Structure 1
C-alpha cells in the first residue's frame, strides 16, 4: 500500500481522536470488542494511527504490537506511550510477522478501506498464517450505504456525491491528504474472508452517532449529540443496520 497519512498525523487527534464524535464512536467499538477478549493475550494492531487504541489495549493488560504505514503516525504514537510501535505495510503484514502468532488482529476506523478488492483478498488469504488457533480479526470498516453521508451531500446539493461510496476507488480527503478509498459492506467482507474465517458478529458503529467531519456542526449541540448516542445504544445489536452506519465492527474467527 502506498505510504500515506503522514500529513494527517499532526492534526489527527484534534480532528478525530479528541472530538466528542470520535470519543463516542471509539467507545462503541470498545464496548462491543470487550465482549470478545476473554481468551486473548497477544494483539497485533494494523493502521494504529496515533496509538490511541494500542494505549487502551495496554491499559487492559494485553500484549500489544501496533503498526502503521505512516512513519509520522508512529512518531506521534511513540511520543504518547512507550509501547511496541512499528512502521509496517498492511499488504506485507503476514510476512513481516511470519515468526510470531497473535490471538487477535485489530484494525479500527477504516484502515482496511485503503485496500482494493484484490489487496483485501490477498490480506484474508495470508493473515491467518500469523494467527493462533481460533485467532480472531476485529475490523472496523466503512460501508457503502452510510445514510449520514447521503443526507450530508443531499443537504449540500452535491448530488453526484450522494452515492459516491458505491464507486470503485473514491478519492477521500483526510486532513488535506488525498487517499484512495474502497468501501465494503459486511457481506463483501464475509465473502472475501469466507475460505479462512467464519463470522462471529457484525455490529453498527455510528448509525445515529454522526461521522467525525460533522463534529464542527455538533460542537455547540452537545445535548443533541448525547441524544443521538442514546439512540445508538438502542440499536447497537441490530446487525442489519451495519451497512447503513458510518462504520461497522465485524469479528471473524480463524477456521
Structure 2
C-alpha cells in the first residue's frame, strides 16, 4: 500500500483515534506548549503533513500566516474544511514535501506526530526543509523514536519479539497495510540544525491506541501521568517515548542545494 492510500484511509477516523483520545490531546497540548514561545514574533508557518488541520486553531490564535501540505488528498480536503470553519485564509496543498515549491521562505516549519517517520530519505528531507527555512528559522519535528516502553512491551506480549527489537536496533517497521516507517533519533535530525529544546511525549505512558483499548493502560495512565509530565524535559534522548518533540534552529551558511 502506498503512502497516499494509507493516509487517505487514516483520514476516515483520525478525529476519533487521536484528536478525541485523551492521550492524543495530552500529547498535542504538550507540543503546543513547547512551541508557543518559539512562535513569538514569527508570521509565516509551514505545516508539513498537516492532517485534517488539527493545529489550525492554535496557529490562528497566534495570528500566523498558515501554509499547509499533506501527501493525502483526503487529509488536505479535511484541512480545507477545518480552515473554512475557522475563517482562515490558509494555503493548503496535497503534495509530498519533496515536490512542494514555495515563492518565499518560512520562519517556522513543523512536522508533527510522526510525519518524519513516513519519510525514507531523511537526508533529502532535511536538505529540503533547510532550504525552505529563513535564516533565523525554527524547525519542529515530532518523531516516533526507536524506543517506547509501552510499544516495546506490547510487542513482547503479542509475541512479536522480532518486531520489538527491529524497531530499536534497525529503526524501522511495517504497518498493517505494508507501509514501511522509520524511527529517528536526535543525532539523525541535526543535519544543518541545532537543537534548542527536546520534550519526550508519553515516555512512561501507553500509546493513544493502547489507552483506548485497554482498561489497565488507562489505569496506569491515571497513576503515572503527573510523573510523565515531570520527566518530559529531563530524560536523555535514548529514553524515547510515544513521540519526541525536537525544536531546532537553522544553522546558516550551510548549502542546502
Q: TM-score interval w.r.t. the shorter chain?
A: 0.7 to 0.9
Partner of 2:182: 182
Q: What number of residue pairs does the alignment pair up?
A: 243
**Deviation sequence 1:27-84 (CA, Å, 0-9, x none):** 1111111132223211100001111012321122211111101000111222222242
Following superposition of structure 1 onto structure 2, how do residues 196-215 of structure 1 map, counting pairs within 5 Å?
Answer: 196-215=192-211
Q: What TM-score does the superposition give when structure 2 sets the normalisation length? A: 0.86
Q: 1:218 to 1:32 in 2, by over 3 A?
A: farther
Supply the distance in 2 between the matched residues of 1:249 and 1:49 (Cα, whole angstroms). Answer: 17
Q: 1:226 to 1:59 in 2, by over 3 A?
A: farther
**Deviation sequence 1:102-161 (CA, Å, 0-9, x none):** 110001111011111xx2101222322221221010010011122211111122232222
- Of the structure 1 ranges 33-42 and 15-24, higher mean CA displacement relative to structure 2 is found in 33-42
Partner of 2:8: 6
Supply the distance in 1 between the matched residues of 2:203 and 2:171 (Cα, whole angstroms). Answer: 23
Q: What TM-score does the superposition give when structure 1 sets the normalisation length? A: 0.87
Q: 1:2 to 1:233 in 2, by over 3 A?
A: closer
Aligned-residue RMSD, C-alpha: 2.1
Following superposition of structure 1 onto structure 2, how do residues 95-244 of structure 1 map, counting pairs within 5 Å?
Answer: 96-97=101-102, 99-116=103-120, 119-165=121-167, 166-167=169-170, 169-173=172-176, 177-190=177-190, 193=191, 196-218=192-214, 224-241=220-237, 243-244=239-240
Supply the distance in 2 between the matched residues of 1:219 and 1:170 (Cα, whole angstroms). Answer: 26
Partner of 1:252: 248
Q: 1:170 to 1:181 in 2, by over 3 A?
A: same
Q: 1:104 to 1:203 in 2, by over 3 A?
A: same
For structure 2, the 5+ residue unaligned runs are 252-257
Partner of 1:47: 49
Supply the distance in 1 between the matched residues of 2:219 and 2:47 (Cα, whole angstroms). Answer: 34
Supply the distance in 1 between the matched residues of 2:31 and 2:147 (Cα, whole angstroms). Answer: 19
Supply the distance in 2 between the matched residues of 1:187 and 1:8 (Cα, whole angstroms). Answer: 29
Q: 1:168 to 1:235 in 2, by over 3 A?
A: closer
For structure 1, the 5+ residue unaligned runs are none
